[in-house]
Amino acid sequence: MKRIWAIALLILLTSCFEPLAAAKNSQGFTMAVDVRVGDLQIPRGQYNVTWTEPSGSQVELTLKADGKKPITVPARLIVEKHTEVGVTTFNENGVTYLQDFHTTRQTFILPGTPSAPK
């Protein structure tokens, strides 16, 4: 009988903490202007970004906005601390490009961008 209660308790605790584990690789942010990543146009707005577990330093980012098709792009992960969540953009020939997205613990560098902001 004790074994059944222990298993039931384990299942209950696992189901309670599962949403927290899923949110570990997720972050909401605001894109203040329309930007490009390579050939992809990303409109301004509220986004939720999720990322895969790293393979070396490589991850896949998926950007989701209400009512819009998700956008998935590759990125390079760098573990570094920031005071707040945000993005870095740069302007080239009148086009604004998304260089990176960062959380308080890591930075995701997008492909085709310079290593430092212009």
In contact, 73 and 55? CB cutoff 8 Å: no
- Tell me the per-residue pLDDT of 29-82, one tens digit each, with 9 for 90 and over: 899 999 998 888 999 999 999 999 999 999 999 999 988 899 999 999 999 999
* Chain centroid to CA 94: 26
Quote the pLDDT of residue 9: 38
Please write the tens of the pLDDT for every residue from 18-32: 344 445 899 998 999
Segments making up each domain of the chain, as ranges = 25-109
- The pTM score is 0.73
Q: Looking at residue 15, what is its pLDDT?
A: 43
